[in-house]
Structure 1
């Protein structure tokens, strides 16, 4: 009975996240930006990273390592396309967010979800908080480089 309940709950969560919700989410994102708390920096998020330098060219070795980590820690909830799974797809993330924001979110998701209106809107759609994967700064940086590769950086 417990297995059935778990499967049903997971099915509902996946169904909710698979629905487009894109029409309303774009409008919600614009409205929520205006309501950001004054102590929250939407360019860097919350965490220890103020500025993350990334080169114009991709660090191929770092991206390769990042894919291995992402496949292990992230792919059960995220697709590398724009398609939702449990969480949103990764396509276009590095164009939308600054590297410091991405690094802070990867390493410090709970405080950012609590403060970032866009993340709160995403949570309303997907109904599941991103768990803290307890990644090292180095592993988070490798995932960022893989995200850049995924977005077409060469």
Structure 2
């Protein structure tokens, strides 16, 4: 019985430490396959500077005027590897919240900025902080390239009925 408790504690500890991070820099793969280091947004930006329609990040104008099924298919592949161990495409919570309706609740810019670099947004967004209290696990930065983040957004749009 003690061995079972020790194994359970070890598993819980490894899960908690593997899904977080307080990185000050990230690496983003470039077209030539090298990794470019980028500074995370300044930690000084607080709730007063936060734009709840856009979030924090470089994505300002994401064109979603047309639906791209090929891009959505690519997004599904990326999401299957990097997202689906914590999220479902329904409204059911797994580790993180379900994705159903996310593109109706959030702007494309907000989604792209959050999935590209979640840490600064979690630190200041009251809704994300409420989600953190429910889910108990901080969303890890998956190191998504811009094209991967955009393809995941297109997959989320398809999941919400975009055609």
TM range (shorter): 0.7 to 0.9
Out of 9, 19, 26, the position equivalent to 1:5 is: 9
With the length of structure 1 as denominator, give the TM-score of the two structures: 0.79
Can you give the 5+ residue segments of structure 1 that lack an aligned partner in the other structure?
Answer: 11-35
- Distance in 1, matches of 2:51 and 2:12, equals 38
- Distance in 2, matches of 1:47 and 1:68, equals 24
With the length of structure 2 as denominator, give the TM-score of the two structures: 0.75
Alignment of 1:4-153 (within 5 A): 4-7=8-11, 37-55=47-65, 57-153=66-162
Can you give the 5+ residue segments of structure 2 that lack an aligned partner in the other structure?
Answer: 15-45
| Cα offsets for 1:27-55 (capped at 9, x unmatched) | xxxxxxxxx92200000000001111112
Runs of 4+ in structure 1 over 3 Å off: 6-10
Shift of the alpha carbon at 1:68? 0.4
Structure with higher strand content: 2
**Residues 83, 52 of structure 1: CA spacing in aligned structure 2 closer, same or farther, 3 A cutoff?**
same
- Distance in 2, matches of 1:51 and 1:99, equals 8
Give the greater-gyration-radius structure (CA): 2
Q: How many residues align?
A: 129
Shift of the alpha carbon at 1:5? 1.5
Structure with more relative contact order (C-alpha pairs < 8 Å, separation 6 or more)? 1
Shift of the alpha carbon at 1:7? 4.5
